[in-house]
């Protein structure tokens, strides 16, 4: 296996990880920012107020995007395993 192939595989895997994790992270980030703005406006500094909405948003995002994320992960794994003979 040459270094070009290894670098290409690493780039594909890292980009795949970013794409797969993106929807959940974006949803959690948006909810976190909204809750932080709400805390600043109301001056309520409760730890459960920051944790519970992000947890609920993460679960909802996983329910919404879970099947897409799994299909994307399976496609990446299938392409990686199918390409093994060409790497050597």
What is the chain's pLDDT, residue by residue, as a tens digit (88 residues)?
A: 688 888 999 999 999 999 999 999 999 999 999 999 999 898 888 877 889 999 999 999 999 999 999 999 999 999 999 988 988 7
Q: Cα–Cα–Cα angle for 9, 28, 60, nearest 5°?
A: 95
pLDDT of 43 reads: 87
- Comparing CA positions, the residue from 26, 19, 49, 24 lying closest to residue 36 is 49
List the chain domain ranges. Answer: 15-82
Predicted pLDDT at 49: 83
Q: What is the structure's pLDDT at 70?
A: 96
Give the integer Cα–Cα distance in Å for 4 and 11.
Answer: 11
């Amino acid at each position: 296996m040459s270094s070009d192939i290894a670098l290409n595989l690493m780039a594909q895997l890292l980009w795949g990880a970013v794409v797969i994790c993106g929807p959940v992270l974006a949803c959690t980030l948006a909810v976190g920012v909204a809750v932080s703005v709400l805390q600043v406006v109301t001056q309520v500094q409760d730890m459960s107020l920051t944790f519970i909405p992000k947890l609920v948003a993460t679960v909802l995002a996983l329910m919404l995007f879970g099947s897409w994320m799994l299909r994307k992960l399976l496609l990446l794994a299938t392409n990686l395993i199918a390409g093994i003979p060409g790497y050597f």
